[in-house]
Amino acid sequence: MRYGHFAADIGDGAARLFQRVASTPAEDASERKQAWIRLALLVLISTYATVASIVVSPDHRIEHWAIAVLGYFACYTPIALGLLYVIRRYPGHYPARRLFSMVNDYAGLAFAIIVGCQVMLPIYAMIMWVTVGNGLRFGSRYMIVAAIMAQVTLVTITALTPYWQATPPLVVTLSLTVLVVPLYIRTLLRSTEQARRDAEEANTAKSRFLAQASHDLRQPVHAIGLFLNSLTQTGLAPEQRGIVDRIDRSLQGVAELFRSLLDISTLDSGAVTPKLEPVAIRELFRLLEQQNQVSAGWAGVDLRFAATDRIVLADKALLLTMLQNLVSNAIKYAPSGAVLIGCRARGDRVSIWVLDRGRGIAAEHLPRLFDEFYQVRKLGNADMQGVGLGLSIVRRLGDLMGLDAEIRSTPGRGTAVAIHGLVAAATIPRAVDPDNSYATPLHDLRVLLVEDDIDVLDATAHLLRSWGAAVTAWSTVPPHAQPCDLIVTDFDIGGGMTGADCIALHRDENPPPMAIVMTGHDELAIEEIVADASVLILKKPVRPAELRSAIAALRAGRARLPNS
């Protein structure tokens, strides 16, 4: 039985040796680079052997040992080329492939030194390269394996080379060098790796803090926004309405900050995966106009959108976030001016431009505008809301979708920011009617409202009822399905229940009610949990106009369905 287990362990070890281990793109690139360097070194060593042979030869001819080295490397070249092809064709961490490469590298170097004796002694530096290179590229385990192989190589060279046997101090020096240097580098690697892990943990803790703080603060901001909207409908005097408008304006600045914090923490977590689909730019422009018409009015900005029928392949939510950040910046830095949003096509590529007639930006600031927290401020300038995350988010989202962001600016004339690289789509997306139903009363709509925060529950119920909807409000998931046309629910409801549970409770209704989930969490993660493309996810704080627009879009979509 012992021998059986031993044989099984050997078999498992051999199987793991030939299996692909998870690797990173950087690791794959390092292995490809090493394969190219191997080919370059073959040429370099062959050239050195040829020149050295001619120099030391009495009659300045290529000696027999050099011919042997050239012949060996000529045979090794197809192996090196084959390794390069396999590495490029089958990327990944294959331990057997790496060990095979190391064995062949050490064998070739040993042959060259043994045959060339003193003349090829400088080739010892290549042994150090193979040893240190494998450790730096693939980690400390490969460093240890390479160091052991290097010692075996030196022992082999000593056993077969009389010159090395006659100079023990040289052999000891070379052996200690090939042992001490890799071990020292391994120690540095471990320290560096620990520092990297500490930095990643600190960055993760920062992202968790930002996400949690943003989520916790979004709820009261969301409630305040809803109450402010309700307050404006109570017959305020002009002076009172002006005060409420100023409060609303300040609140939107806070809301924009929370959006930026949550976006940056979500990107740091690596949880954002683009889902490309045909997107009508006209629809994006319509949404941007709805989201920014109030803030543009406050700033006295003439906000214009160029008509277009272009359709591109993109993640609609991510592209909308990029454009919203650009438009928000343009409105902020071009008060009482004009902002134009349009697109331009070149071949199958489409660019979206946001142009403003603001004060412009000096050339020395342009290279750093996409850095996190960088803002163009001078002593004595008026304070501007924001922390300098908008353009950083634009660039990072663009990198996820393979898009480029460009900024041009002339002081005194304005700024132009573009998103390049959008691919024109051949497929026409499902049409979305313009929101002409915003002013239409909702008297025929039965709404089930589920929200565990009583303040938000009351404010949202009051808002929906002011629009004419019949609202049934619950602070938890109802025990059974309620008669309704629309579900408006928070995601985290308490008691271990979520908005997804509320929606699932009504899924068997005929027809199932429309649904909107309002959340302070990452909307992409919520989409995966809800797992229903017909459910709209709105990120808190939600403006009343945004909620009304979402309801109108759902009703328009439901109206187009057969038998609806």
- Nearest Cα to Cα of residue 401 among 279, 522, 265: 279
Tokens 């096509």, residue located: 345
What's the pLDDT score for residue 438?
45
pLDDT at 366 over 70: yes
Instruction: Report d(CA 75, CA 367) in Å as an integer.
Output: 51
Question: Is 233 in contact with 466 (CB distance < 8 Å)?
Answer: yes
What's the pLDDT score for residue 488?
92
pLDDT at 486 over 60: yes
3-state class (DSSP) for residue 417: strand
Q: What is the pLDDT of residues 413-449, one digit of tens each?
A: 888 888 988 888 876 555 444 444 444 567 788 999 9
Question: Is 244 in contact with 236 (CB distance < 8 Å)?
Answer: yes
User: Do 213-271+439-564 and 276-424 show the same overall fold?
Assistant: no
Length of the chain counted residue by residue = 564
What's the pLDDT score for residue 145?
87
Q: Pick 8 or 515 by higher pLDDT.
A: 515
Environment class of 161 (CB within 10 Å of its CB; exposed 0-12, middle 13-18, buried 19+): buried
Cβ burial 502-523 (10 Å sphere, 16+ → b, else e): bbebbeeeeeebbbbbbbbbbb
What's the pLDDT score for residue 258?
62
- Report the amino acid identity of residue 533: A
Hey, which bits of 403-491 come out as E strands?
A: 404-410, 414-424, 446-450, 470-474, 486-490
- Nearest Cα to Cα of residue 50 among 31, 37, 63, 33: 63
Structure tokens at 339: 């902002």
The residue ranges of every structural domain in the chain are 2-166, 213-271+439-564, 276-424
Q: Pick 160 or 369 by higher pLDDT.
A: 160
What's the pLDDT score for residue 78?
92
Q: Pick 40 or 252 by higher pLDDT.
A: 40
Q: What backbone phi and psi angles, to 5 degrees, belong to 319?
A: -65, -40
Look at 125-139, 261-275, 446-460, 501-515 and tell me which has the smallest mean pLDDT.
261-275
pLDDT averaged over the chain? Answer: 79
pLDDT at 541 over 90: no
143-to-16, 17, 430 alpha-carbon distances in Å: 19, 17, 56
What's the pLDDT score for residue 444?
81
- Nearest Cα to Cα of residue 561 among 516, 510, 527, 517: 510
Q: What is the pLDDT of residues 354-364, one digit of tens each?
A: 988 877 777 77
Instruction: Report d(CA 145, CA 19) in Å as an integer.
Output: 18
Structure tokens at 522: 């990452």
Q: Pick 408 or 298 by higher pLDDT.
A: 408
pLDDT tier for residue 222 given thresholds of 50, 70 and 90: confident
Q: What is the pLDDT of residues 233-282, one digit of tens each?
A: 777 788 887 787 777 766 766 666 666 666 666 666 665 677 788 888 88
Question: Is 182 in contact with 131 (CB distance < 8 Å)?
Answer: yes
Q: Pick 206 or 399 by higher pLDDT.
A: 399
Query: Read out DSSP for 179-230?
Result: HHHHHHHHHHHHHHHHHHHHHHHHHHHHHHHHHHHHHHHHHHHHHHHHHHHH
Q: Pick 485 or 439 by higher pLDDT.
A: 485
pLDDT tier for residue 473 given thresholds of 50, 70 and 90: very high
The pTM assigned to this predicted structure is 0.49
Q: Pick 82 or 15 by higher pLDDT.
A: 82
What's the pLDDT score for residue 383?
45
pLDDT at 560 over 70: no
pLDDT at 3 over 50: no
Question: Is 450 in contact with 490 (CB distance < 8 Å)?
Answer: yes
pLDDT at 198 over 60: yes
535-to-277, 361, 440 alpha-carbon distances in Å: 17, 42, 22
Instruction: Report d(CA 490, CA 500) in Å as an integer.
Output: 9
Mean pLDDT of 40-68: 87
Cβ burial 402-421 (10 Å sphere, 16+ → b, else e): ebebebebeeeebbbbbbbb
Instruction: Report d(CA 371, CA 388) in Å as an integer.
Output: 8
- Nearest Cα to Cα of residue 459 among 267, 222, 286, 299: 222
Q: What is the pLDDT of residues 314-360, one digit of tens each?
A: 888 788 888 888 888 888 877 878 889 999 888 888 899 998 887 77
How many other CB atoms are found less than 10 A from the CB of residue 185?
A: 17
Counts of helices then strands in the chain (DSSP H, E): 16, 14
Q: Pick 461 or 267 by higher pLDDT.
A: 461
What's the pLDDT score for residue 381?
46
Strand pairing report for 514-519 and 414-424: unpaired
Environment class of 362 (CB within 10 Å of its CB; exposed 0-12, middle 13-18, buried 19+): exposed
Q: What is the pLDDT of residues 147-183, one digit of tens each?
A: 889 899 999 989 998 888 888 888 898 888 888 888 8
- Report the amino acid identity of residue 368: R
Q: Pick 115 or 270 by higher pLDDT.
A: 115
pLDDT at 2 over 70: no
Q: What residues does 497 pair with on adjacent strands?
A: 494
What's the pLDDT score for residue 529?
79
How many other CB atoms are found less than 10 A from the CB of residue 432?
A: 15
Question: pLDDT above 90 covers what percent of the chain?
Answer: 5
What's the pLDDT score for residue 439?
47
The reply to whether CATH 3.40.50.620 applies to domain 213-271+439-564 is no
Q: What is the pLDDT of residues 394-418, one digit of tens each?
A: 888 888 888 888 888 888 788 888 8
3-state class (DSSP) for residue 314: strand
Instruction: Report d(CA 195, CA 182) in Å as an integer.
Output: 20
Q: Which CATH number fits domain 276-424: 3.40.50.1100, 3.30.565.10, 3.40.50.450, 3.30.413.10?
A: 3.30.565.10
How many other CB atoms are found less than 10 A from the CB of residue 486?
A: 22
What's the pLDDT score for residue 554?
82
What's the pLDDT score for residue 8?
46
3-state class (DSSP) for residue 104: helix
- Residue 257: left (phi > 0), alpha (psi -120 to 50), or beta? alpha
283-to-279, 287, 480, 500 alpha-carbon distances in Å: 8, 6, 37, 27
